[in-house]
Structure 1
Amino acid sequence: MSFPSEISSGAAPAAVPPRRHRREPSGDRWFRWATLLPAVIVLVVLTVWPVANLLRMAVSTIEFTRDGASFAFTPAENLRRLAGDDLFFINLRTTVIFVVVSVILEMVLGFLLALMVSGVPRGKGLVRTLMILPILVPPVAIGSMWKLVYNHDFGILNQALGVVGLGPVGWLSNPDLALWSVVLVDVWHWTPFVFLILFAGIEGLPREVIEAARVDGATTWQIVRRIVLPLMAPAIAVAFIFRAILAFKVFDQIFLLTSGGPGTATEVVSLRLYRVFFDQNELGYGALLSVVIILAVVAFLLTAGALARRVGR
């Protein structure tokens, strides 16, 4: 085998001259910024300005007169009212319980369904189509349908209990059962969403790694725990973040099923905001509650992410 003369003779290789970076023409630089300008304007108009206006409302008391809306700067009064609003913190606790239980159930069921469907040799497309049907149903139809299912007198659940000799249950009128009944509806509605994301992630896994693990004698549980779950971490994180944010914003199905009742058993923060804004017409205090909810969602996601990283280690 022959080598270059500089290396074979022991001589040092010739120095390579440093590469000079060409300066970008000013016209190209300005053109790049000009093309980004529409997107920046849209971002400011649709995101930055509404958030700034929300913060302005949160520290004000807003009253409507013939001349329009008048803003009075009252941050201390709004904060004092928030500190004494026990009902809001009860609603926040109810919301956190709803989010934690429903999202965990949806993640577990969605992952199990994705594993099962990925093992089906034929008809994956048909199974996937049938699985996503609950997502396609409008929320109004879901609320009406499940209200009939939970009906005390002629609902299918109480009819089934009557067949086995049990009495009817107040699924939506019992304070101890109402929240869990709403959670069941949310799980039925959104588990297919989680299934779609995780199924796409499983289908994209490298089959060679899984087959090699099987050849080495790994069990199904070992493959899922040590190969599938670590490789699926990005897809799981995406599904969790989307579902957690959407669960915090739940409104329609609870409004249609229970309207927050019985009492405040199913009243979440979105319902509380609705009543403060539209029933009580207190825009400033409602804006402050909105800011608190945003901070609570961010804190929840950061805490969940920290726990996930700790478990991953």
Structure 2
Amino acid sequence: MTLFPIVFSVVMSFSNVDVTGNGFQLSGFTGHNFAVIAGADRWRHALAFTLVYTVGTVIAEVVLGTLIALVLERLKSGRGWMMALLLLPWAMITVVSAQLWAYVYNGVYGVLNALLAPLVGHDVTLLGTPVSATLAMAVADIWKTTPFVAIIVLAGLVMLPSDVIEAARIDGANGWTIFWRVRLPLLRPTLAIAVMFRVLQAFGLFDLPFVLTGGGPGTSTESLAVLGWRVMFQDLKFGPGAAIATSTAVLVFIGCLLFLKVFRSQVGQEETA
């Protein structure tokens, strides 16, 4: 159910795919599919959008998740209830949450329009322009996935060695200095895990733009995953569609390797120092 589709997609991306009345046939070995997508402006736009969207949302989620985790760590009572409430957006299926946000953003009967329209004097359609649609989609994504980051960071905070923090207090360090010089460096492995998971999920973004914006307006919020789906299942270009999926997986893999290499080198330098 998992390995065969992945392998078959890779094989298809390097094959000539002929669509017939009985399905499609694979023949030959070629890199033409990758040449087609590399020369397409639409693929480059989808790649740029996916990269910018991934970097922006992951940074926002890590910052907000860390702040929420710090607040939860200081709670003496009710932490369990707060964590349960915090996990509700994360536990919600993305298709459902995207549809809920579509109602919020609707320019006719949406909640946000009802609040803003009297102030600006006209209906507010956030999904009608490329910039506002991208920001609206990012807000929906951050709302859903920040709790995931917060729980991971909270687990890291709880596991920090108390003796090191207490030693810093004895040496006269204040709370701000302890966070930046002691706690944050010790949290790097935890933050690295959170970033890795979120980059993998954000780079494969599909369901949120598919439901919320449809990749629009135009192709302004079209991610690589949405583009691959359209090319393969709407345009019936199975070879280029499989090439988009394969190239996306390769880019994510290379990015993860580079991230881990940089992270390990930083940890090694700190341990040597």
TM-score past 0.5 threshold: yes
What is the aligned counterpart of 2:54 among 86, 95, 99?
99
Q: Deviations over 1:204-248 (max 9, x none)?
A: 112222222222221112111121112212211111111100111
User: Is 1:194 aligned with 2:149?
Assistant: yes
Shift of 1:51: 4.3
Structure with greater proportional helix content: 2
Unpaired runs of 5+ residues, structure 2, are none
- CA distance, structure 1, for counterparts of residue 84 and residue 121 of structure 2: 36
Q: Is this contact kept in 1: 2:215–2:223, CA < 8 A?
A: yes
Aligned CA distance change for structure 1 residues 248 and 79 (closer, same or farther; 3 Å):
closer
How far the C-alpha of 1:158 sits from its partner, in A, is 2.3
1:141 lines up with 2:80 in the alignment? no
Q: Give the structure 2 partner of residue 173 of structure 1.
A: 128
Q: 235, 249, 253: which one pairs with 2:204?
A: 249
- What SS does the aligned partner of 2:128 have? coil
Does the aligned pair in 2 maintain the 1:61–1:283 contact within 8 Å?
no
1:118 partnered with 2:73:
yes
Tell me the CA shift for residue 100 of structure 1: 0.5
Normalised to the residue count of structure 2, the TM-score between the two structures is: 0.90
- 1:210 paired to 2:165: yes
Aligned to 1:80: 35
Give the alignment partner of residue 64 of structure 2, picking from 109, 121, 124: 109
CA gap of 1:166–1:51, structure 2 versus 1, over 3 A, is same
Question: Are the structure 2 counterparts of residues 223 and 157 from structure 1 closer, same or farther at C-alpha, using a change threshold of 3 Å?
Answer: same
- Equivalent position of 2:217 in the other structure: 262
Contact 2:117-2:124 within 8 A present in 1 as well:
no
Using the TM superposition, give the Cα deviation of residue 68 of structure 1 relative to its aligned residue in structure 2, in angstroms. Answer: 5.9
- What is residue 106 of structure 2 aligned with on the other side? 151
- Residue 192 of structure 2, aligned match among 215, 224, 237: 237
1:157 partner amino acid: L
How far apart, in 2, do the equivalents of 1:147 and 1:245 lie? 24
How far has the Cα of 1:153 moved from its partner? 2.1
Alignment partners' CA distance in 1, 2:98 and 2:49: 20
Instruction: Give the 3-state SS of the residue equivalent to 2:130 in structure 1.
Output: coil
Residues 227 and 269 of structure 1: CA distance in aligned 2, closer, same or farther (over 3 Å): same
| CA–CA distance in structure 2, aligned partners of residues 55 and 295 of structure 1 | 11
Q: Is the 8 A contact 2:204 2:225 kept in 1?
A: yes
Contact 1:61 1:285 in 2 (8 A): no
Amino acid at match of 1:142: S
- Return the offset for 1:82: 2.2
Distance 1:165 1:101 in 2: 28
How many Å apart are 1:103 and its aligned residue?
Answer: 0.6
CA distance in 2, matches of 1:51, 1:137: 27
The offset of 1:50, in angstroms, is: 4.5
Equivalent pair of 1:144/1:256 in contact (CA under 8 Å): yes
Q: Which runs of 4+ in 1 moved over 6 A?
A: none
| 2:146 maps to 1:182 | no
Output the amino acid matched with 2:108. Answer: D
Find the counterpart in structure 2 of residue 161 from structure 1: 116
1:67 Cα deviation (Å)?
A: 6.6
Structure exhibiting the larger radius of gyration computed from Cα positions: 1
Partner in structure 2 of residue 71 of structure 1: 26
Measured on the aligned residues, the alpha-carbon RMSD in Å equals 2.2
**Structure 1 Cα separation of the partners of residues 10 and 95 of structure 2:** 32
Counterpart residue type for residue 127 of structure 2: L
Matches of 1:79 and 1:126 in 2, distance apart? 50
The match for 2:226 is: 271
Residue 287 (structure 1) shift? 1.4
- In structure 2, what is the Cα distance between the partners aligned to 1:226 and 1:190? 27
Out of 62, 68, 72, the position equivalent to 2:17 is: 62
Task: Assess, with a 3 A threshold, how the Cα gap between structure 1 residues 173 and 199 changes in structure 2: closer, same or farther.
Answer: same
SS at match of 1:62: strand
Equivalenced residues, count: 268
Please give the TM-score of this superposition, normalised by the length of structure 1: 0.79
One-letter amino acid matched to 2:88: L
Question: Could you say if the C-alpha distance between residues 162 and 52 of structure 1 is closer, same or farther in structure 2, counting changes exceeding 3 Å?
Answer: closer
